[in-house]
Amino acid sequence: MSIFRNLNEGLHDICFIWWREMKLMVRDEGVIIFFFVVPIIYPLLYSWIYNNETVHEVPVAVVDDSHSSLSRQFIRMCDASADVKVAYYAQDLNEAKSLVSRQLVKGVYHIPSDFDTNINRLQQATVSVYCDMALMLTYKAVYQTAQLVTMQMGTEIKTKLAGRFTKQEELIASKPLAFDEVPIFNPSGGYGSFILPGVLMLILQQTLVLGIGLAAGTAREQNRYGQLVPMSKHYHGVSRIVAGKALAYFMVYAVMGAWLLLAVPRLFHFPQLAAWPSLLAVVFPYILACIFFGMTVSCLVRYRENVMLLMVFVSVPLLFLTGLSWPQSNIPAVWQGISWLFPSTFGVRAFVRLNSMGASLADVLLEYRILWIQAGAYFLLAYAVYRYQIGQAQKRIKQEYQDMKERIEERKKHAKV
Amino acid sequence: MKYLLRIFHLMMRELAILRRNHLYAFCMVVFPILVLVFFTTLMKEGLPTEMPVGVVDLDNTSMTRSLTHRLDAFQMSRVVAHYPSVTEARRAIQRNEIYAFMYLPKGTTDKLLSNRQPKISFYYSYTTMAAGALLMKDLKTISTLGSAAVGQATMQAKGMTDAQIQTLLQPIRVDLHQIANPWTSYNVYLTTMIVPGIIMLFIFLISAYSLGTEIKFGTGKQLMEIAGNNILVAIVGKYLVQTLIFLAIVYAYEYYVFMVLGFPHLGSPWMLVLLGLIQVLSSQGFGIFAFGLTPSLRMSLSICSLWAVLSISMVGSAFPVMGMDGALQTLSWLFPLRHYFMIYQICIFNGFPLIDAWFHFAALVAFLLLPWFVMKKIKNAMLTYVYIP
């Protein structure tokens, strides 16, 4: 009987706290920004930024000292390629340099005066490529185009020089071992398809932590004693408080998660290979882990704004710790260890492999298990810090009560005298 | 003289505030240093080396094994496993064990020796961009070398000289000059954008925070009193101490990165000093402006953090601005970090004169002057606003 009553009462309390938390959430403009506005707007902005995926037509300058049909062929072929556009013809390297300095071109092709003489004399000819290394993608475009064009021209020259009998023989002689390069998963090499899945998953964690932190800060500031947990008959029992609040956050983030991980990639045509059961299996513990992580962090901040100063800058290092930009195999051990503290590390890794690489749940088993462990560990931590907070609150109230009593006694004494 | 004295009093007051609230110490000194250490140690290698790759060798002859050995000997790749089939290797990529693999089909050697042009393949994943692109380069080199080895043998047999063979194998050579970053170091290329970006984030936040807390803790009136009711004096006195601390941090970063770690800087050292100065001042300008727009602590902090995080993308260092949509290219002007990066790129990294980056310098000066528009509003806020939680 009493078990049922307890359960019933507990459920009622959880629902009460859930309802109250939801009410607080929609009233607090700071929380609205991080729970609703940022998760909706930011992915759209990021997708827009990276939607063009690759850079085409990088402007280069050409210094042609050879003025031969071969050098003109080289320039024509470069210009015709997708990645490079011959924007300027410069008289000499100095002029080309001034074009680079004014950011008009990103690289310089210099064809020396002995270019065609060398080729016709059966000597190796060179083309000098000067790259502005400030941007990796433009460097890649400028260099790889030059490489591709020289290789193509080289093959033509080779077949002419060799003097074979048949076309097929020419082909084989110029390239005895053929090769195929197959970029799998993200075949266009698009920048958005590569970075966006990780960013989306990270936005989920960061906005959750920021929102929870702000909500906790508000609760604390509105409380008379600066406590996180109000004194109310519904707020006894730590598990009820933690569960009630988590439910409220989970409700919002079930929706936001679907928007971020399903709708946005579809809207902008980013790869989406994940099967929904495995996606659900990974995202569920991820959101739980993020919520309890956020609740733990929220107990550490005294003023509501402080959470912003603490959490915002972490976003960038966290993105790097996932191993997306800098390969995971090359992250130093210290940082690998620290990365284990954050749900995003494993959430992003699992999501990218499920979603962009079409892996199955079995392939991300390690990440999946760690996410559950993190969810459990952060739940216990959140429980512990909330219990501490409640203990503090009760102590405070008792103290207050005691003081009041003493004051009344004192007054009574004075009155008697 | 009267003004100087007031400013001095305000500076003393600000020093006391900075010492009392530990958050300032963390956000102004500890976190920026932590971020600097993080990025410089994370990418210490410059280029990722020894990345795991796999091999699917169905031919298994001495020729294919020597190709595998050569691949292993490359600096960037390390052959960690052999797989019985392409499917297995693909699953290994999905399990995050390797980043790429080379596929040598059955009969490769036979065909090569009998001049029937065998075809080998290499598969690489672009979901981790740097790893994919770098390994692709290694794998490509391997195949070209394999090709060359065969051709070389036949040509030598025909009695050609080495120079002739060289010409026949590669009639046109690309002579690459990687100006200022010949190591293609990712450390040089990412750290110099992200660390200043995060320092600017902190300057934004702290600038807005320190004005906002005056209202929150109800000390705005006191501030104006000491300043003799002159908002300009109040702002200068309040921010001068912070400016000096941030300048110290920025110069410490520049010293460590350019002098100790030896990152390329072709411009004069004075350019570094000037860039650091305008970086700090323009960011403070932006932070104060953001607060003045919405004289509320939480809104201004939200604006500052959202803007700063967005600027890491809008700076166009990883994905160039010229690859973005036209509207975004114009929008990128609104981000101080973008102008900072352009000045860095033009005047420090490539060492061109400041005149080539005049537009970006002027833009940063404009950011510094932005608070001018909201001075009145800030004064009003300091005197009359009451904090509502």
Q: pLDDT tens for residues B67-121? A: 888 888 888 889 999 999 999 999 999 998 999 999 999 988 888 888 788 888 8
pLDDT at A231 over 70: no
For residue A88, list its beta bridge partners: A61
CA distance B340 to B374: 24
Question: B336-343 vs B297-314: helix axis angle to the nearest 10?
Answer: 40
Q: What percent of chain B has pLDDT over 90?
A: 51
Mark which residues 222-261 of A lie under 8 Å from B by CB. 222
Query: What is the identity of the amino acid at B321?
Result: V
Query: What is the identity of the amino acid at A168?
Result: Q
Which two tokens mark B41?
């140690």
Highest mean pLDDT among A23-27, A213-217, B237-241, B382-386: B237-241
**What is the pLDDT at residue A123?**
86
Q: Which residues of B touch A137 (CB under 8 A)?
A: 318-320, 323
**What is the pLDDT at residue A227?**
63
**What is the pLDDT at residue A19?**
87
Q: pLDDT tens for residues B17-30? A: 999 988 899 999 99
**Is A139–B150 a contact, with Cβ atoms under 8 angstroms apart?**
no
Q: Which residues of A touch B47 (CB under 8 A)?
A: none
Q: Which residues of A touch B155 (CB under 8 A)?
A: none
**What is the pLDDT at residue B296?**
85
pLDDT at B365 over 80: yes
Q: Which of B35, B43, B116 sits opposite A313 (nearest CB)?
A: B35
**What is the pLDDT at residue A25?**
83
Q: How far is B186 from chain A (nearest CA, A)?
A: 9
What is the interface pTM, i.e. ipTM, of the complex?
Answer: 0.91
Among B64, B319, B324, the residue to mutate for chain A (most A Cβ within 10 A): B319
Q: How far is B346 from chain A (nearest CA, A)?
A: 6
Q: How far is B200 from chain A (nearest CA, A)?
A: 10
Residue A359 touches partner B, C-beta closer than 8 Å: yes
**Is A137–B319 a contact, with Cβ atoms under 8 angstroms apart?**
yes
Q: pLDDT tens for residues A238-279? A: 888 888 889 999 999 999 999 999 999 999 888 888 888 999
Query: What is the identity of the amino acid at A217?
Result: G
**Distance from first CA to last CA of chain B, Å, rounded?**
40
pLDDT at A313 over 80: yes
**What is the pLDDT at residue A42?**
92
Mark which residues 82-111 of A lie under 8 Å from B by CB. 100-103
Count the neighbouring beta carbons within 10 Å of the beta carbon of residue A332: 14
Residue A337 touches partner B, C-beta closer than 8 Å: no
Q: What's the per-residue H, E or C state across chain A?
A: CHHHHHHHHHHHHHHHHHHHHHHHHHHCHHHHHHHHHHHHHHHHHHHHHHCCCCCCCEEEEEEECCCCHHHHHHHHHHHHCCCEEEEEECCCHHHHHHHHHCCCCCEEEEECCCHHHHHHCCCCEEEEEEEECCCHHHHHHHHHHHHHHHHHHHHHHHHHHHCCCCHHHHHHHHCCCEEEEEEECCCCCCHHHHHHHHHHHHHHHHHHHHHHHHHHHHHHHHCCCCCCCCCCHHHCCHHHHHHHHHHHHHHHHHHHHHHHHHHHHHHCCCCCCCCHHHHHHHHHHHHHHHHHHHHHHHCCCCCCCHHHHHHCCCHHHHHHHCCCCCCHHHCCHHHHHHHCCCHHHHHHHHHHHHHCCCCCHHHHHHHHHHHHHHHHHHHHHHHHHHHHHHHHHHHHHHHHHHHHHHHHHHHHHHHHC
Full-model pTM:
0.91
Pairs of CB atoms within 8 A across A/B: 318
Residue with tokens 């501030």: B223
Among B32-46, B194-208, B214-228, B350-364, whose mean pLDDT is lowest?
B214-228
pLDDT at A234 over 70: no
Q: What percent of chain B has pLDDT over 70?
A: 99
Among A41-45, A302-306, B286-290, whose mean pLDDT is lowest?
A302-306
Q: Which of A126, A158, A357 sits opposite B125 (nearest CB)?
A: A357
